[in-house]
Amino acid sequence: MLLIPAIDLKDGLCVRLKQGDMEQATVFSDDPADMARHWLAQGARRLHLVDLNGAFAGTPKNRVAIKSIVAAVKAFEQANKTGPIPVQLGGGVRDLDTIEQYLDEGISYIIVGTAAVKNPGFLRDACGAFPGHIIVGLDAKDGKVATDGWSKLSKHEVIALGQKFEGYGVESIIYTDIGRDGMMGGVNIEATVRLAQSVKIPVIASGGVHDIKDVEALCAVQGEGIEGVICGRSIYEGSLELKAAQARADELTGAKR
């Protein structure tokens, strides 16, 4: 079970939102690259970046901060002689040129969310052009997928879309329960498991992580196809200690590092 720290970017700052509301942003750092270095030092094996401005605008808006984070990751890898530490990024990705630019700049995985729902052909093209590098983000409330920075609720069912996009060749699915995101009320284990059981590709859980009990609960169902969990407010506010939680997850799942 991979614990993946989230670095959400708004106006060049590292923030966390409550239920995706841009008006409810808590600033945790004015130096996103330094925040990345902090999580790497705590043993993070992957980082999750979100261009929040980009998600709402439909075009990248935090390129400077993103480049600084990638540079920090590369420096950490070299200094500590680690293997590659993947960086996944979402928010404002609406065309193939943007994907190509981000991959060229050192991003490992591109997360396609709104564009996947509104323009499935784009997602299919992206998977064909950049195989192994495309993750689809399904953000949902009550089983329905949301788009446009969670501001609009569609009529699409999560499981149906997950199965459809699996057929396109996406690498994995990030499933976020937006009713729980940033609220630290616990992960929606049941819905995450239902999605994971319906597809053969890995699912990454997101939204609601509060403490070590949530990590342990996810580890118990890892065999259903849940690869990891994105951690946000919990690790920033201290209800979950990343290094200890990853060690506990490794212990429970028999991972050797």
Question: Can you tell me the distance from the alpha carbon of 103 to that of 109, in angstroms, rounded to the nearest whole number?
Answer: 8
Catalytic residue among 139, 177, 181, 214: 139
8 is catalytic: yes
97 is catalytic: no
Residues belonging to the active site: 8, 139
